[in-house]
């Protein structure tokens, strides 16, 4: 503390001296289009006075009226300006060449630096690139565009959630997603609450070197979002209005069989190759082949009526259940600038319906941002409000009800369950499932989110070499969820109805039986669950993040040819989370829909009430020294005082040291051949940390607040309702007061090349990172009285290669064609978990995700067939021909992609621009649990591969004379109901396939109307029309018959498994009209 | 632009600097000491021991009556698996693994750990001596159970968060210490000073704060452990020493069934009596977790039928055609429509029922055996036996029409089975006959409520002598397993200490 106080006193002294000096000229160097030109050199002719402009183009130079200022900047023509009476000058310079490597990058803490000075890897994506195909979430706009960045859309629900990782996973149980920083402040709300249209640009700091200055939450890289803050340059105002309409429809359904209808094993098999009888109320399709004849469906109703349908395959019976989702997007924004400030205002309204019937949502985002300079003072501010509401059904339940419906039944005809007797709960044909239309209507999840994000930065630049800035920011995320399920009461008739109507053997008529002769009984769902209890849950949560930081930046020459820039400061975070949940279930169930605890006796009980708070203070400094802008050496240091850790562990140091050499400037000769025009080599080494495992992987620091202090908990059953008895037992997890952050060390080397006057640029990095002291909840001997202990025990490594190649393939007067390819290769490995523990099942929604020592992380484990260890072939029973399931789990490999390739391209011709993004992910596996359901119900195409006839299990062996020999003749005796849903679908291995896929993510065609067409209006300045498509094409290996391998049940670390919760993938088309005034 | 004057600039600059420095200095002492205590869960030091007592007793009930005790009902010929399922390798072929019924180890330590916490928390506090006493008794109760199932187990180094891989103690030495600890606990109760707080009746969900019953419970438990040692070399001598001076009034007496009930009800699955949840029904009324799977075993059904024992209807589901069982391991396919379930009216009749961890009948059977063996004086073996059967009829609510439960027991012994050497005391003559009678009827009484006690007697004395092993063709065992396998948790997380070579044929130290 004392050092900081004396530092400020010193600064004050300098400041006072400066004020006493003579006249300063404030100036800015801008491009002809108004964009600032950073780091230009300003020389007063005839004197020794030389100053450098800042990253925003601003400079202050001592001069008098009549002096001539000579402004030079790399890639710009040198410009001269004569000083007049004014104190402010605006210098416009013209670009000589477009240098891809000489851009300005926003780095940690919002500090802008020249790309060539960086010793670590960054990538910048402009706002325009992100919004090209009008994604609702900006994460979708980043997909495929940057190496090292993996964006996965984990399902296709309304406002589909995404998971972002940079350079893979480092922490076994912690958060592996990057920190999101918006306008310099840590942003806690989901990335989807940011309006993509508000983005100026996004910089990804891929490695931990770049992010080390963020301390203990920095090991996963940082995504720095810079929002639009109004126009730069001279006074002007523009207003842009755009309107987009999108249509979303199912693109790929799982492969389904087309030949067989209803039977669920009701009959005793008489002849294995003769198929079973048709059963009218079945959810399973193990029945006879479709014959086109009319069959009774379901049971006769109380009025004696019976539904009849043709027994034939309906090609789109399931696809037609889903809607075409329509999303409209309205945007309006105003940007203005004046001499010393800028202003930005925007609003976006997104109204969306999904492919799932009745699922709908709305998102509205308002933003005000701007900046103002008052001499040496400046202020930057932004305030945004996001409202998001979704009203959805239970996707998993509905999808199951749809998929477990025979393919001769057109569910769209059974929609009116409230009025149509054959669609009602009592009359619906399926004995085992509710009519999905009823489920949709009676089970609703309503999620509402209200976010307010504010950010105010005040800066003072008393000298050209000194900048002080203070920032205060706030994120307030307010969420509410409500889930409602109505009670279902079946009629007494349904409960006792045993009548069955069957088609006669020749299909010519029907036979009615008073009781089911095939062993079936009453309507199963009604018997098992009558009344089906209502359910209700309501939860509210508030997540507040308050941050403030203070940064002092210095930029000054320190000796001939040496320049120094440095920053020091602090960053303070306070995160407070509170939530409150009520619910009613089971015997507490509501018998009619009333959701008010104050007026209904069977009121929902409090099911959760929690408050969390954590605070963190980081003290940091960073410095760069450069020699003639040729060699840069940069280092940063940070220590965090974290309330979540015990006092002894509160000062954990993090650091980065990196450097770069601009080879092309240092050895001019290498550029002589005219091929190479830029070359830079960089090296970086860093140590960062991660404390998020304490928060069970959440990025919110507050959730990890209480992991170090022992507590008691109320064990199962407590408090007992009947006796109002409380009880507290030892927490099964031993709190660890000595827990330390995980340590991540990372080494990185990179080479950046510009060729053919930057027509071709290559940026490549190799990195290796190692996590030690990984925090795990390790299982321990129960004789300790506990189940697990929080330990610093795990070790993992990551090795990877990243490459970004950008080329301007064609550049002529009319046509510009640019192409970019990025490649990512990342291999993670678990070195150890805890002592000799060989594996760890990951917490989360995917029970098949494991960390296994010596393997990538995570891997998928499930059951395989029993195999002959020698040949690897499946062993089948010598009599039945059936294989059997192994008793031990088999490791099927990594579920994160090892290789990712992204391709972006853009062609401009006159007013037209066509751009596209595609990507490939491969080297990993996906477990399609939806396949288990499909084969259970006999809908999956696999189940009909042999026409339900006896077959020899492929690649199998059979035991003969104590030896396994290839099986050529022992057939599976019943290749129908007694194989697929009872044996085959219980072996997870059958549903694990390569997750490799090429995807055409975006195709965008924009037409900018010629100025002449627009200007006549006297109002509009420009207008453009855009049509785009997203997820147009997916190319998968033929083994993947189910769904999009990018989907995941778990949105956390445990990727690699998709189930019924992920409805089929979709394709989106949109059209946008945009007018700027 | 209008320029700011210098003094104003200075002021603003000062304010900014202050804001910056205050931000740092404002983080005064204590700013980062906000994460303890946890506002969402109590710190151990703030919770009075009664709250831990109620929780640990409820955990004990779940341990003895939850699904992991089911396998002991299989071993003892009370239950078998449904004829509608494929024969289970675990139950029908005794292919026990480290995952089989591992809650008998894992959950026992979690429950005992809470009693240990009470002992630790009340260490030197004279006002809490009664809590320390009952926690000590309960710890002995749980460890006796663990040793009876696993032999050597971690004991002296257990419950130490600084030692996550505790060593295993010799089983005999654990028993010795458990018996000594019971004496110590009884001493605590006897010698509690005037400042000692009474147990809070509400939270003592075993005896409602009745310390005299706790004392009797401790003595009965000691009696039980001493009897377990009867076949060891030093057992008889130890029994004479340990039981010296104890009389009938020192043990759980008529109607004093030790039953835990924290307030069981059908409000939710986890609020039901765990045994009821397992074999009868869930809170929403659907079938209990293993209701369809456990069926009556033909051996015990035939036994009860042979003596026209009316308890059969209170232990097993009465089908239209009566009670029917299956042989363990049979290949006969029999649907649940024809074979009785194990949800009689006795212990699985209501979700609100208590979990009996030491029923009064056991107290009397133990006294009868101790008297018959001459381990204890002043107790008449025949009278104790008679009371034991009466208590068994009482706890199962078994009645002949027109008779109350205890009268029904008398009728069962005196008239229905007069002269039967396995029922009627007066029909027995030799000491062996008397022991066989006592232990056989104890086996008949322990059905479902305390199969571990019957399992202990069977391994110690081989009674009932014709208890069948599984008839499954895959079964290669010639006797019922002697023990359970150490759990996966120990093999994975305490591998260095687990005794090697322990399989289902390794004997518990007190077995002959």
Establish if A920 touches chain B: CB-CB under 8 angstroms. Answer: no
pTM equals 0.84
Contact A753, B126 (CB under 8 A): no
The model's confidence at residue A1, banded by pLDDT at 50, 70 and 90, is very low
Higher pLDDT, A512 or B272: B272
* Number of CB atoms found within 10 A of residue A651's CB: 12
SS3 B390: helix
Residue pairs spanning A and B at CB distance below 8 A: 263
Establish if A308 touches chain B: CB-CB under 8 angstroms. Answer: no
- Confidence at residue A477, expressed as pLDDT on a 0 to 100 scale: 96
For testing the chain A interface, which of B4, B17, B269 should be mutated: the one with the most A CBs within 10 Å?
B17
Cβ-nearest to B31 among A4, A615, A789: A615
**pLDDT(A268) > 60:** no
Closest by CA position to A56, among listed A319, A342, A332: A342
Q: What is the rounded average pLDDT for all residues in chain A?
A: 87
Residue in chain A lying closest to B263 (CA): A723
Q: State the average pLDDT over residues A72-76.
A: 71
A592-638 pLDDT, tens digit each: 777 776 776 666 778 889 999 999 999 999 999 988 888 999 999 99
Give CA separation, B389 vs A1010, B246, B360, B395, B446, in Å. Answer: 104, 22, 10, 10, 11
Cβ-nearest to A1 among B24, B36, B42: B24
In A719-778, the residues whose Cβ lies within 8 Å of chain B are 720-732, 734, 778
Region label for A215, one of left (φ > 0), alpha (ψ between -120 and 50) or beta (otherwise): left
Closest by CA position to A225, among listed A199, A197, A186, A206: A199
Point out the residues of chain B with pLDDT beneath 70.
Answer: 1-28, 84, 86-87
Higher pLDDT, A8 or A701: A701
Closest by CA position to A459, among listed B2, B5, B25, B20: B20
**pLDDT(A217) > 80:** no
To which residue do tokens 């005790």 refer? B69
* Distance from the B317 Cα atom to the nearest Cα atom in chain A, whole angstroms: 21
Contact A1017, A1023 (CB under 8 A): no
Give CA separation, A546 vs A387, A574, A616, A618, A921, in Å. Answer: 20, 5, 11, 14, 38
- Confidence at residue A602, expressed as pLDDT on a 0 to 100 scale: 65
* Number of CB atoms found within 10 A of residue B185's CB: 28
Establish if A580 touches chain B: CB-CB under 8 angstroms. Answer: no
* Distance from the B25 Cα atom to the nearest Cα atom in chain A, whole angstroms: 7
Cβ burial B265-280 (10 Å sphere, 16+ → b, else e): bbbbbebbbbbbbbbb
Residue in chain B lying closest to A552 (CA): B20
In A767-826, the residues whose Cβ lies within 8 Å of chain B are 778-787, 789
Contact at CB, B33 and A612, closer than 8 angstroms = no
Q: State the average pLDDT over residues A1068-1073.
A: 94
Cβ-nearest to B35 among A460, A706, A715: A706
Cβ-nearest to B51 among A587, A727, A785: A727
Q: Which residues of A touch B21 (CB under 8 A)?
A: 4-5, 8, 550
Establish if A705 touches chain B: CB-CB under 8 angstroms. Answer: yes
In A62-101, the residues whose Cβ lies within 8 Å of chain B are 88
Higher pLDDT, A392 or A58: A392
- Confidence at residue B26, expressed as pLDDT on a 0 to 100 scale: 53
Contact at CB, B42 and A708, closer than 8 angstroms = no
Q: State the average pLDDT over residues A385-407.
A: 94
Q: State the average pLDDT over residues A458-467.
A: 87
- Confidence at residue A519, expressed as pLDDT on a 0 to 100 scale: 58
- Confidence at residue A1070, expressed as pLDDT on a 0 to 100 scale: 94
Residue in chain A lying closest to B48 (CA): A728
Phi, psi (degrees; rounded to nearest 5) at B161 = -70, -10
What share of residues in chain A are helix, strand, coil (percent, to 5)?
Answer: 10, 50, 40
- Confidence at residue A2, expressed as pLDDT on a 0 to 100 scale: 42
A594-607 pLDDT, tens digit each: 777 677 666 677 88
Contact at CB, B47 and A712, closer than 8 angstroms = yes
* Distance from the B266 Cα atom to the nearest Cα atom in chain A, whole angstroms: 8
CA distance A34 to A191: 29
SS3 B150: helix
Q: Which residues of A touch B17 (CB under 8 A)?
A: 8, 11-12, 468
SS3 A803: strand
- Confidence at residue A69, expressed as pLDDT on a 0 to 100 scale: 84
The interface pTM score, or ipTM, of the predicted complex is 0.91
Contact at CB, A729 and B40, closer than 8 angstroms = no
Q: Which residues of B touch A732 (CB under 8 A)?
A: 110
* Distance from the B312 Cα atom to the nearest Cα atom in chain A, whole angstroms: 29
Give the DSSP letter string of A641-704. Answer: EETTS-GGGS-EEEEEEEEEEEHHHHSGGGGTTSSEEEEEEEEEEEEEEE-GGGGTT-S-GGGG
Query: E strands within A192-263?
Result: 199-205, 222-227, 236-250
- Confidence at residue A479, expressed as pLDDT on a 0 to 100 scale: 96
Taking each helix axis as running N to C, give the angle between helix B360-372 and helix B431-446, from 0 to 180 degrees, rounded to the nearest 10: 170
Give CA separation, A748 vs A65, A635, A751, A773, B370, in Å. Answer: 50, 14, 10, 21, 78
SS3 A900: strand
Contact A527, A495 (CB under 8 A): yes
For testing the chain A interface, which of B20, B108, B496 should be mutated: the one with the most A CBs within 10 Å?
B20
- Confidence at residue B86, expressed as pLDDT on a 0 to 100 scale: 66
Contact at CB, B52 and A15, closer than 8 angstroms = no
Q: Which residues of B touch A713 (CB under 8 A)?
A: 41
The side-by-side arrangement of strands in the sheet containing A874-876 is A874-876, A956-960, A963-966
Count CA within 13 A, CB hemisphere, residue A991: 32
CA distance A514 to A499: 4
Contact at CB, A643 and B32, closer than 8 angstroms = yes
The model's confidence at residue A585, banded by pLDDT at 50, 70 and 90, is low
CA distance A441 to A437: 6
Q: State the average pLDDT over residues A171-186.
A: 89
Establish if A16 touches chain B: CB-CB under 8 angstroms. Answer: yes
**pLDDT(A905) > 50:** yes
Contact at CB, A782 and B105, closer than 8 angstroms = yes
Residue in chain A lying closest to B489 (CA): A781
The model's confidence at residue A79, banded by pLDDT at 50, 70 and 90, is confident
CA distance A863 to B468: 35
Closest by CA position to B346, among listed B294, B412, B405: B405
Contact A674, A202 (CB under 8 A): no
Question: What whole-number percentage of chain A has pLDDT above 90?
Answer: 49
A95-120 pLDDT, tens digit each: 654 454 456 777 777 777 777 788 88
Contact at CB, B489 and A611, closer than 8 angstroms = no
* Distance from the A106 Cα atom to the nearest Cα atom in chain B, whole angstroms: 23
* Distance from the B268 Cα atom to the nearest Cα atom in chain A, whole angstroms: 7
Higher pLDDT, A530 or A728: A728
| 3-state SS, one letter per residue, for A617-647 | EEEEEEEEEEECCCEEEEEEEEEEEECCCCH
CA distance A346 to A44: 42
Establish if A836 touches chain B: CB-CB under 8 angstroms. Answer: yes
Largest CA distance in chain A: 112
For testing the chain B interface, which of A1, A591, A784 should be mutated: the one with the most B CBs within 10 Å?
A784
Closest by CA position to A431, among listed A305, A279, A268: A279
Length of chain A: 1077
Higher pLDDT, A1020 or B208: B208
SS3 A344: strand
Cβ-nearest to A711 among B38, B52, B153: B38
């Amino acid at each position: 503390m004392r050092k900081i106080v004396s530092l400020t006193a010193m600064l004050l002294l300098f400041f006072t001296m400066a004020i006493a000096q003579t006249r300063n000229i404030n100036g800015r160097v801008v491009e002809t289009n108004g964009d600032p030109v950073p780091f230009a050199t300003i020389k007063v002719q005839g004197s020794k006075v030389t100053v450098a402009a800042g990253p925003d183009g601003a400079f202050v130079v001592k001069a008098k009226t009549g002096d001539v200022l000579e402004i030079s900047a790399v890639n710009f023509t040198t410009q001269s300006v004569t000083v007049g009476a004014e104190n402010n000058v605006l210098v416009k310079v013209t670009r000589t060449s477009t240098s891809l490597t000489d851009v300005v990058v926003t780095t940690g803490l919002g500090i802008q630096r020249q790309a060539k000075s960086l010793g670590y890897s960054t990538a910048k994506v402009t706002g325009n690139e992100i919004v090209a195909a009008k994604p609702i979430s900006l994460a979708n706009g980043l997909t495929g565009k940057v190496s090292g960045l993996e964006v996965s859309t984990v399902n296709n629900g309304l406002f589909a959630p995404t998971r972002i990782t940079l350079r893979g996973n480092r922490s076994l149980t912690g958060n592996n997603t990057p920190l999101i920083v918006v306008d310099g402040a840590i942003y806690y709300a989901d990335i989807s609450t940011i309006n993509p249209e508000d983005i100026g640009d996004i910089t990804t700091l891929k490695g931990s070197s770049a992010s080390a200055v963020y301390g203990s939450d920095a090991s996963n890289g940082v995504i720095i979002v810079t929002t639009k803050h109004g126009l730069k340059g001279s006074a002007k105002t523009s207003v842009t209005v755009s309107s987009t309409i999108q249509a979303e429809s199912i693109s790929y359904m799982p492969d389904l069989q087309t030949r067989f209808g209803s039977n669920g094993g009701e009959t005793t098999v008489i002849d294995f190759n003769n198929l079973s009888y048709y059963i009218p109320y079945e959810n399973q399709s193990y029945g006879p082949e479709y014959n086109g004849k009319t069959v009774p469906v379901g049971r006769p109703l109380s009025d004696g009526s019976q539904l009849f349908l043709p027994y034939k395959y309906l090609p789109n019976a399931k696809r037609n259940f889903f809607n075409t989702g329509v999303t409209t997007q309205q945007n309006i924004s105003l940007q203005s600038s004046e001499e010393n400030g800028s202003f930005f205002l925007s609003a976006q309204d997104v109204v969306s319906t999904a492919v799932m019937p009745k699922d709908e949502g709305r998102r509205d985002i308002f933003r005000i941002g701007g900046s103002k300079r008052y001499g040496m003072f400046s202020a930057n501010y932004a305030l945004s409000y996001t409202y998001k509401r979704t009203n959805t059904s239970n996707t998993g339940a509905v999808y199951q009800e749809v998929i477990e419906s025979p393919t001769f039944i057109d569910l769209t005809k059974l929609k009116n369950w409230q009025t149509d007797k054959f669609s009602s709960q009592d009359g619906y044909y399926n004995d085992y499932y509710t009519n999905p239309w009823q489920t949709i209507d009676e089970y609703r999840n309503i999620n509402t989110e209200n976010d307010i994000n504010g950010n105010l930065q005040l800066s003072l630049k008393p000298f050209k070499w000194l900048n002080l800035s203070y920032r205060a920011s706030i994120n307030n995320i307010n969420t509410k969820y409500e889930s409602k399920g109505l009670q279902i009461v079946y009629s007494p008739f349904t409960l006792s109805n045993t009548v069955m109507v069957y088609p006669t053997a020749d299909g010519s008529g029907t036979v009615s039986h008073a009781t089911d002769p095939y062993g079936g009984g009453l309507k199963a769902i009604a018997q098992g669950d009558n009344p089906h209890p209502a359910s209700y849950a309501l939860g509210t949560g508030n997540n507040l993040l308050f941050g403030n930081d203070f940064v002092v930046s210095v930029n000054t020459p320190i000796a001939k040819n040496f320049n120094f820039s440095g920053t020091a400061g602090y960053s303070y975070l306070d995160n407070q989370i509170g939530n409150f949940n009520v619910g009613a279930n089971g015997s507490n169930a509501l018998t009619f829909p009333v959701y008010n605890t104050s007026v209904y006796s069977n009121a929902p009980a409090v099911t959760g009430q929690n408050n969390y708070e954590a605070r963190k203070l980081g003290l940091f400094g960073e410095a760069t020294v450069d020699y003639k802008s040729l060699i840069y050496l940069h280092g940063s240091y940070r220590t965090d005082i974290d309330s979540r850790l015990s006092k002894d562990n509160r000062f954990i140091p993090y650091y980065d040291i990196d450097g770069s050499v601009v080879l092309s400037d240092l050895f001019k000769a290498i550029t002589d051949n005219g091929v190479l025009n830029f070359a830079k080599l960089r090296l970086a080494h860093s140590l960062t940390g991660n404390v998020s495992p304490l928060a069970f992987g959440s990025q919110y620091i507050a959730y990890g607040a209480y992991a170090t202090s022992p507590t008691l908990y109320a064990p199962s059953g407590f408090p007992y309702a009947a006796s109002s008895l409380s009880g507290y037992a030892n927490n099964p997890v031993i709190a660890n007061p000595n827990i330390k952050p995980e340590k991540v060390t990372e080494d990185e080397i990179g080479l950046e090349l510009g060729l053919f006057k930057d027509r071709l640029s290559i940026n490549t990095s190799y990195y290796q990172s190692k996590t030690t002291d990984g925090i795990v909840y390790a299982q321990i001997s129960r004789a300790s009285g506990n189940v697990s202990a929080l330990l610093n025990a795990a070790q993992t490594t990551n090795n990877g290669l990243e490459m970004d190649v950008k080329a301007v393939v064609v550049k002529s007067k009319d046509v510009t064609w640019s192409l970019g390819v990025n490649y990512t290769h990342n291999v993670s490995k678990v070195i150890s978990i805890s002592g000799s523990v060989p594996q760890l099942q990951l917490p989360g929604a995917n029970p098949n995700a494991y960390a296994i020592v010596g393997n990538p992380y995570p891997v998928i484990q499930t059951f395989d067939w029993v195999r002959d260890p020698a040949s690897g072939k499946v062993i089948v029973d010598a009599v039945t021909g059936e294989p059997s399931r192994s008793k031990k789990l088999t490791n099927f490999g990594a579920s994160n992609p090892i290789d990712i390739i992204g391709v972006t391209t853009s062609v401009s011709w006159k007013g037209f621009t066509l751009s596209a993004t595609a990507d490939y992910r491969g080297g990993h596996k996906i477990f399609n649990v939806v396949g288990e359901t499909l084969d259970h119900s006999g809908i999956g195409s696999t189940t009909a591969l042999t026409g339900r006839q006896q077959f020899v299990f492929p690649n199998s062996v059979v035991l003969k004379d104590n030896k396994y020999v290839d099986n050529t003749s022992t057939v599976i005796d019943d290749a129908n109901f007694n194989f697929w849903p009872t044996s085959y679908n219980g072996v997870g291995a059958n549903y694990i396939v390569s997750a490799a896929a090429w995807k055409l993510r975006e195709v965008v065609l924009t037409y900018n109307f010629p100025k002449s067409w627009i200007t006549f209006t006297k109002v509009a300045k420009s207008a453009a029309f855009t049509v785009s498509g997203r997820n147009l094409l997916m190319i998968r290996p033929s083994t993947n018959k189910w769904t999009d391998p990018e989907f995941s049940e778990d949105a956390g670390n445990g990727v690699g498994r998709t189930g019924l919760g992920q409805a089929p993938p979709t394709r989106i088309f949109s059209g946008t009209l945009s007018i700027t005034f | 632009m209008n320029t700011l004057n210098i003094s104003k600039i200075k002021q603003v600059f000062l304010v900014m600097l202050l804001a910056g420095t205050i931000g740092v200095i404002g983080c005064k002492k204590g700013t980062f000491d906000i994460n303890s205590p946890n506002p969402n869960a109590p710190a151990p030091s703030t919770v009075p021991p009664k709250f831990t007592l109620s929780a640990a007793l409820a955990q004990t009930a779940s341990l003895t009556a939850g699904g992991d005790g089911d396998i002991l009902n299989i071993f003892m010929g009370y239950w078998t698996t449904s004829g509608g399922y494929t024969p289970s390798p675990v139950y029908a072929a005794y292919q026990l693994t480290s995952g089989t019924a591992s809650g008998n180890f894992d959950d026992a330590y979690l429950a005992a750990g809470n009693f240990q916490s009470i002992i630790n928390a009340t260490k030197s506090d004279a006002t809490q001596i009664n809590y320390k006493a009952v926690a000590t008794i309960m710890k002995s109760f749980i460890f006796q159970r663990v040793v009876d199932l696993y032999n050597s187990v971690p004991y002296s180094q257990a419950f130490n968060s600084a030692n996550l891989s505790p060593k295993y103690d010799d089983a005999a030495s654990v028993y010795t210490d458990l018996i000594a600890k019971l004496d110590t606990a009884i001493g605590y109760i006897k010698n509690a000073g005037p400042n000692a707080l009474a147990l809070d009746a509400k939270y003592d969900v075993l005896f409602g704060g009745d310390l005299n019953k706790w004392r009797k419970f401790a003595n009965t438990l000691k009696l039980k452990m001493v009897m377990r040692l009867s076949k060891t070399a030093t057992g008889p001598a130890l029994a004479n020493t340990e039981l010296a001076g104890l009389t009938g009034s020192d043990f759980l007496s008529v109607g004093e069934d030790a039953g835990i009930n924290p307030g069981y009800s059908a409000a939710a699955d986890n609020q039901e009596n765990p045994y009821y949840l397992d074999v009868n029904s869930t809170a929403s009324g659907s079938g209990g977790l293993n209701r369809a799977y456990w069926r009556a075993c033909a051996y015990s059904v035939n036994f009860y039928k042979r003596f026209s024992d009316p308890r059969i209807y209170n232990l097993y589901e009465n089908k239209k055609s009566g009670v029917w069982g299956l042989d363990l391991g049979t290949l006969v396919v029999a649907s649940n429509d024809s074979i009785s379930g194990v949800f009689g009216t006795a212990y699985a009749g209501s979700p609100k029922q208590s979990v009996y961890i030491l029923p009064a009948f056991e107290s009397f059977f133990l006294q009868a055996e101790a008297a018959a063996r001459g381990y204890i004086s002043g107790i008449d073996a025949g009278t104790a036996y008679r009371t034991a059967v009466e208590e068994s009829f009482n706890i199962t609510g078994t009645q002949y029409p027109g008779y109350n439960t205890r009268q029904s027991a008398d009728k069962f012994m005196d008239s229905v089975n007069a002269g039967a050497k396995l029922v009627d005391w007066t029909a027995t003559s030799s000491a062996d006959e008397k022991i066989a009678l006592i232990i056989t009827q104890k086996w008949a009484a322990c059905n479902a409520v305390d199969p571990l006690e019957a399992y202990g007697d069977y391994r110690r004395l081989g009674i009932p002598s014709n208890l069948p092993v599984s008839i499954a063709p895959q079964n290669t065992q010639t006797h019922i397993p002697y023990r359970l396998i150490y759990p996966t948790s120990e093999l994975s997380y305490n591998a260095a200490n687990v005794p090697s070579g322990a399989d289902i044929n390794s004997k518990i130290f007190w077995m002959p």
